[in-house]
A and B are shown apart, each in its own frame.
Chain A
Amino acid sequence: MAGVGRHSLRGLIARRIAITVGLLWIISLLVFAATQVLPGDTASAILGKTATPESLAQLRAQLGLDRPVTEQYLDWLGGVVSGDLGRSLAAGLPVGELIGDRVGATLVLAAVTLVLLVPIALALGVLSGMRRDGKLDQLVSWLTLAGVAVPEFVTGTLLALLLATWLGWLPAVSLIPPGESPLAHPQFMVLPVLTLLVAGLASTVRLVRVGVAEAAESGYTEMARLSGISERRVVRRWVLPNALAAGVQVIALTAQWLVGGIVIVEMVFQYPGVGQTLVQSVQSQDIPVVQAVALIIAAIYVLLNLLADVALVLLVPKLRTRR
């Protein structure tokens, strides 16, 4: 029955971080293993089908592919830990140099999307959740159902058709000059962000709405009303704090979805981000780039989870404090 367990809270967060580090290690294993089982090894990918056994052996030795897999893995992992992601086979440049700008561009796209998405989703979710089955709720339900049902690339293509090809208001393709920040060219961000918003809002609003409705229909909210608390106060002090847990999880989920959705949107709009790089380097079997991008994406994913977990623990008294 201790009060707020500061010590245990720190322990809890430390434990989550430890789990995250472990997860990242497992992911590094999986990423490495996955790139090992791709059809054909890197050497045969480079040499093509007319490779002779001799030229293959020579190239394998050159690339260090003839060493034991565990050694290759440890080497790679050691590099990753010290910030060296290896060299691209296709470009011959350090991977970090190659994808640095692109990781940044993707993060900018994700951040702008989230900054717009979170408040809109929360507002719509709260408004429709508080008045379940009201007119606004039904409208939101229909719109979000449509948004959930239509895949991102269709949404993107339709938006491009409407806003770029027909109306000519926006550029159809995000041709951001190399080396420049996407933020310096907002006109190129509108369509990608809009596409991600349409797709992301749908599921986010629906989930927020469920969380809000659950809190709004709970026994404690009824009790607050029976105690003569004003409706505004009920929403602020009873509904929202309790819907927050669901909200945080929903936003984390949305952010994680975004990681995948961005890959598609980047292809559709030619946005110079890391998703595009991933697709291209998988096609050209540029294994070091694939490994690096996959690891970065997985790490973002896991870190988002960690953030959501920690935020949840900090926001929900029941998790923060001990009985």
Chain B
Amino acid sequence: MSDALRIEGLCVTTAGGEPIVDDVALRVGGGEIVALVGESGSGKTTCGLAALGFARDGARIAAGSIHVGGRELLTLQERELRGVRGRHVSYVSQNPDAALNPAMRVGDHLRELLRAHGQPRTDAVVAGALERVHLPGERAFQRRYPHQLSGGQQQRLAIALALACGPTVAVMDEPTTGLDVVTQARILDEVKRLRDESDLGVLYISHDLAAVSSIADRIVVMYAGRIVEDGPAAPLLARPRHPYTRGLLASVPDHRAPRRLRGIAGAVAAVGERPAGCSFAPRCELATDACRAAVPPLRAVDATRSVRCIHTAEVPPPPAEPLPARAQIDGAAMLEVRDLHVAFGEGVVAAEHVSFAVARGECLALVGESGSGKTTIARCVAGLHAPDRGAIALDGAPLAALARGRTREQRRRLQIVFQNPFASLNPRERVVDGVARPLRELGGSRADALRAAHEMLERVRLPRGLAASRPAELSGGELQRVAIARGLVVDPELLLCDEITSALDVSVQAAVLDLLGELRAELGLTLLFITHDLGVVAAIADRVLVLRDGCVVEQGGVDAVVTAPAEQYTRTLVAAAPSVGG
């Protein structure tokens, strides 16, 4: 197998010389899919762009060599590089909506590319390129603009563009992030098929180990700009040899093999603040002084794997802690939603005949793809949107449609946490003040409110020193903790969580889910958990309600629904959801 892409000794630095990516070596063979995995800030996108000899403003490729099909890119002139980019090595970006020219028709995107590389650009060629990724090749479709395509179609078009000139290697940077699981599964199948059809090498960049587990031949794990582990997919997933890989694996929720999630403590150090020695040492349970003294070399542990850890022999197998038993509660419903109906404008139905109940102490998950109505239902429960029809009752007492019609006590008992914690906090206020605010609004004294806020921040394990920070100074995970503390500070009985982990890295998500689980036990909380991720459902919920187009498709105990879905739609969803074990 000849190398489609070979990167050696790659260093990308900031303009100031701080390394973003350090000493990276990568090989992608023809017809091989190599996954480059890491959390945000690991440098994986920088590596991916470097494979095209490209660095963004403020960064530069300082050293290394990049071979594409035997061609060294870093010695080429800009004009020669242009001939290689898109022709021999191509790029699919994370967000197709942003990567497609909003003022250019579908067909013109392809024609421009073909034109740039001096290739024939007849209608037949363009249609063929579209049909290859299962997009319609007809003229009407070619005349559409990107905004007239669905997210899945946009990403197919991006892939069609990447493959149009028959490249040696394609870099795909999180091509399925932001897509529904079903679409994601289809795109992943597509990538595999295309690889099989040609001799294309794929460098597949992702933060999601579960997603790559189904397609990657080999997995390269990056942390803080360096490769920490590299090896064939199956053995690497089965038995990670680096503490970080293991931590990542432990963080990934898996609906097929539900287990307790364990996050990785701490956060990735930013560029320029990376510690001497092993970058992962500050977060590593195995770390010793030797780890902090020098950067460990990337060493081969067997014929196919290499690991950058001096304690690799001590890395335990991935944990398989069972989940605490799911609550089986038959008590009286605490929250009852009956026959909810919401429509937006002409014919857009967000909820239809939706009825469900949440028992005290239970966690009910509402799961569905985007547009399924789950967020609308949550907003109705929170009193942020008035339903067209239906009743919501708390402990048997009917709730007013809008929050301002509800009693202060009712509002206290029912709190909501949103997906974007930054938006719900005042950027100029100390986070502890933000947490204290709901208490103050309920009439508490400033001193009492602040004391309670500090206690609650401790409860959500926010490092003590951060209470006085402004929201912008905190990481996403820390902010979400603050938002949860804000929801909990008034001692509610029901916490509504709307996609609270979907913007977080898996390791942080795991920690937040773990925290919520503990808080449930401690405080006897009832949770209504909105998510699109079946893995998350499996990790935290007792019961699940599957929504599609505003209707309840199926509901029941989590284990029953995940292992033996009754409805076709649920089966599709379960099958499409990524799983490391799958």
Contacts and interface: CB of A to CB of B under 8 A. Distances in A.
Complex A–B touching at CB under 8 A? yes
B144 to A, nearest CB: 7
Contact of B144 (A3, A238, A241): A3
Contacts of B161: 227
B86 A228 contact: yes
B102 A220 contact: yes
Interface string B71-84: 00000000001111
A135 interface: no
Contact of A317 (B54, B81, B102, B113): B102
A237 interface: yes
Given A3-B143, A226-B52, A220 B101 contact: yes
A318 interface: yes
B563 to A, nearest CB: 37
Central interface residue in B52, B99, B102, B103, by most chain A CB within 10 Å: B103
A222 B98 CA distance: 10
A322 interface: yes
A3 B140 contact: yes
B98 A218 contact: yes
A146 B412 CA distance: 55
Interface stretch (B88-96, B232-240, B266-274, B432-440): B88-96
B116 A242 contact: no
B129 to A, nearest CB: 13
B82 A230 contact: yes
Contact of A223 (B56, B93, B117): B93
Interface string B44-73: 000001001010110000000000000000
A237 B101 contact: yes
Contacts of A317: 102-103, 105, 145, 147
B93 A228 contact: no
A241 B85 contact: no
Nearest to A323: B148
Nearest to A243: B103
A240 to B, nearest CB: 9
B103 A241 contact: yes
Interface string B136-151: 0000100111011000
Interface in A291-323: 316-318, 321-323
A266 to B, nearest CB: 39
B145 A219 contact: no
B85 A321 contact: no
Contacts, number: 92
B35 interface: no
A148 B108 CA distance: 40
A91 interface: no
Contacts of B82: 228-230
Contacts of B56: 222
Most buried by B among A4, A224, A321, A323: A224
A10 interface: no
Given A220-B99, A226-B91, A228-B82, A321 B104 contact: no
Contacts of B105: 317
B339 interface: no
Interface string B93-123: 1010011111111001000110011000000
Interface string B319-357: 000000000000000000000000000000000000000
B260 interface: no
A228 B117 contact: yes
A34 interface: no
The winner among B86, B90, B95, B140 for most chain A CB atoms within 10 A is: B86
A224 B111 CA distance: 12
A225 B91 CA distance: 10
A237 B104 contact: yes
A321 B144 CA distance: 9
Given A318-B145, A321-B148, A227 B102 contact: no
A185 interface: no
B113 to A, nearest CB: 5
Nearest to A220: B101
Interface string A48-74: 000000000000000000000000000
B112 A233 contact: yes
B145 A226 contact: no
A228 B116 contact: yes
Contacts of B548: none
Contact of B95 (A219, A224, A318): A219
Interface of A: 1, 3-4, 217-220, 222-230, 233, 237-238, 241-242, 244, 316-318, 321-323
13 contacts: A3-B143, A223-B99, A223-B100, A225-B85, A226-B54, A226-B86, A227-B113, A228-B83, A237-B104, A238-B104, A316-B102, A321-B148, A323-B147
